[in-house]
Amino acid sequence: MSLKLELPEGTLLVSKKELKNVIQEVLEEVEAESTEQDIMTIQETAEYLKVSVPTVRSMITNNEIPYFQRGQIYRLNRLDVKGWIRQKSKWD
């Protein structure tokens, strides 16, 4: 008795390890691209959080929210702000 397996044209067979490596590479590329786009101004952060600009400025002044400074310009990383929201929602 013989068994013949027919696969659609263009089908590739890869090992689980190879597939895992490819997925990891793609995720790293996507993360690198999104990190560049995830830097927000105070205005963008206020819109994202649905609060006023003075509220965001106050949060920065009181070190209540993660931010970084380049010269006199404040910027906030969207992923850091998301993490901060998650942390605050767990404790409050």
**7 Cβ contact list (under 8 Å, min separation 6):** 13
Tokens of 55: 């509220």
**Using one digit for the tens of pLDDT, what is the confidence trace for 47-72?**
999 999 999 999 999 999 999 998 99
Contact 40, 76 (CB under 8 A): yes
* Average model confidence (pLDDT) across the chain: 89
Residue 81, beta-bridge partner list: none
**Using one digit for the tens of pLDDT, what is the confidence trace for 20-37?**
998 999 888 877 766 556
Domain architecture of the chain: domains with CATH: 24-91 (1.10.10)
The three-state (H, E, C) secondary structure of 13-70, written as one string: CCCHHHHHHHHHHHHHHHHHHHHHHCEECHHHHHHHHCCCHHHHHHHHHCCCCCCEEE
Q: Which residue has the higher pLDDT, 75 or 31?
A: 75
